[in-house]
Amino acid sequence: MGLENPQMPELEDQPEPEPLPPSRNQQPRAVYNAEGDARAALERYNQDFGDDASTDSSGYSSDGDQPRDLYEDQSVIKQRVTPGEGWETPKELCKCEVSYKVWSGTGVNMKTHTEETTCTLCIDEGQSPIGFFDDVLKTMRKKEVCDVVVKKGAEEGLPTDEDSTVRLTLLDFDKAPVSHEMADDTERLAHIQSLKDNGNNWFKKGDFQRAKRRYESAVYFGEYESDEVKASLTPLYGNLAAVASSMKDWPSCVEQCDKVLKKDADNVKALYRKGVALGKTKDFDEAISCLKKAVALDATNVASKRALRDVVAAKKTQQKQLKNTYGGMFSKLEGFASSNRPKEPRKIDDYDDLSDEDYDLAKPGANPLAPVDHQKGLKRAFFDISIDGISKGRILMELYDDTVPKTVNNFLAICNGYESLHYQGCSFHRVIKDFMIQGGDVTKGDGTGGASIYGGKFDDEAFIDTHNEPYLLSMANAGRHTNGSQFFITTVKCPHLDGKHVVFGRVVSGVDIVQAIESVDVDDSDKPLKACTITASGELPALTGDEDASDAP
């Protein structure tokens, strides 16, 4: 039975794949000869050229006689001894007949060797007597002979106390099937099925990397063929999604599921896998949408129901955590408490078994419509940032003066310096990974102060933009109409803040600096252990025309 119909794994019970050796499919680098000693040749090459970009050999052909550092770590170096015939080289799954023998030592120091051995193997099927054979054979031609110098301890079965030399001969090989040489689509479909069956076999053994390669080979073989052949690829996308899920590669899982759903919008397995993957990436709303549809299409599907329940529970857990974090996030603001913020009505989800009192963050705020189409020529501001006294560069911000001019004027005035209020010298006093970085306490510096140019606090101006993307600027407050100088920059989507905090701009360059601040270690109160300081701030000229908002001043 094909893998397109495997039993669905539970949300929390994805099998842990066994660790596999790193991929060794990088294009080897060419080096030159040094009197027959492959390692000496490579060392001389590196001494002469080092990392000089002019010596890059991307796309280097296997024609040359130069030694080649196969994995670019000097563990396996190949040097051709006798050229081969023709131009073709073996590919994945090609059956090869080879002979080899092993010496201890390298170059003139080679001694004792094993008897010559002849064997037959298929590339990338785990049949190679020595691990690197697959990768070396893919660079060889029929009848080619090469010496492979192996660093001591680099390969099992070879000496561990000194380097080894393996003389390898590719006696013959079966060419990989080529579509245009096949008689008809029946033959092409049979080849795709054989690759799929091979991948299924490796999947069942837990070798997800090999399974992935087989499925990808099948897709590559058929994606430009007839409609009948291309139609056979849809289950393979499902198999690739299953592999990605097993490897916990959630973005790839979503990508492959989307390919299935493009062809079959009601594919329950694809909806299930996509929902699980989206849940793992904390895109809970989309995950719930997919899983609800899967349950609606197949009410007997226990796995989908269980996954839906788990995702809803994970969403609630996150919301309660955010409430705990968020509930005290701005409560330090002098004279105000987060408890002043009135609760908002919330919709009880069909799969929601918590009471209304458990949390109040489920419903978005006053204006769920986004994004807003802002005018051109918006005002701009900048922060120059240092972390632990080391300059990190500039954060450039575009400000929404077309929708919240009062809020922007307050922010810009403090950027430029207004009476005793200035962001220069102010620190980001609270940092929460995967949420936000908060700063702007221009009076006390610890989150308990702040002021506005209007005297004291000022009202929430408008909730026009939503927190629908990361790297937005939003006003910190301690309840309704308590804005001052404190602000925060989001690092993820924060829909639970909509209608509670005024979004007044976005970061247009310097995201890496925001991420650097977000990554600083913090104490139990979320205070950074290294000072993250605004060393300079100010206003930049507004842009006119079609310039990019991130253009340097």
Which entry of 319, 410, 438, 468 is annotated as an active-site residue? 438
Residue 309 token pair: 């329940």
Catalytic site residue 66? no
Which entry of 435, 458, 463, 504 is annotated as an active-site residue? 435
Catalytic site residue 501? yes
22: nearest Cα among 83, 70, 71: 71
Catalytic site residue 435? yes
Which 8-state DSSP code applies to residue 33? -
In contact, 315 and 352? CB cutoff 8 Å: no
Residue 452 token pair: 């506005």
313: nearest Cα among 277, 293, 346, 287: 287
Which entry of 488, 496, 540, 543 is annotated as an active-site residue? 488
Catalytic site residue 68? no
Which entry of 168, 421, 472, 497 is annotated as an active-site residue? 497
In contact, 173 and 193? CB cutoff 8 Å: no
Which entry of 200, 410, 477, 483 is annotated as an active-site residue? 477
HSE-up (13 A, CA, CB side) for residue 267: 21
494: nearest Cα among 407, 543, 434: 434
Which entry of 501, 504, 540, 543 is annotated as an active-site residue? 501
Which entry of 68, 422, 430, 467 is annotated as an active-site residue? 430
In contact, 365 and 356? CB cutoff 8 Å: no
The backbone region for 183, taken as left when phi is positive above 0, alpha when psi lies in -120 to 50, beta otherwise, is: alpha
In contact, 376 and 345? CB cutoff 8 Å: no
Q: Where are the beta strands (DSSP E) in 400-518?
A: 428-432, 436-439, 472-475, 487-490, 503-509
In contact, 385 and 478? CB cutoff 8 Å: no
Catalytic site residue 488? yes
In contact, 135 and 125? CB cutoff 8 Å: no
User: How many C-beta atoms lie closer than 10 Å to residue 168's C-beta?
Assistant: 22
Judge if the upstream peptide bond of residue 22 is cis by omega within 30 degrees of 0. no
Residue 335 token pair: 């004279």
Give Cα 263 distance to the centre of its chain.
Answer: 26
What positions carry a catalytic annotation?
Answer: 430, 435, 438, 477, 488, 497, 501
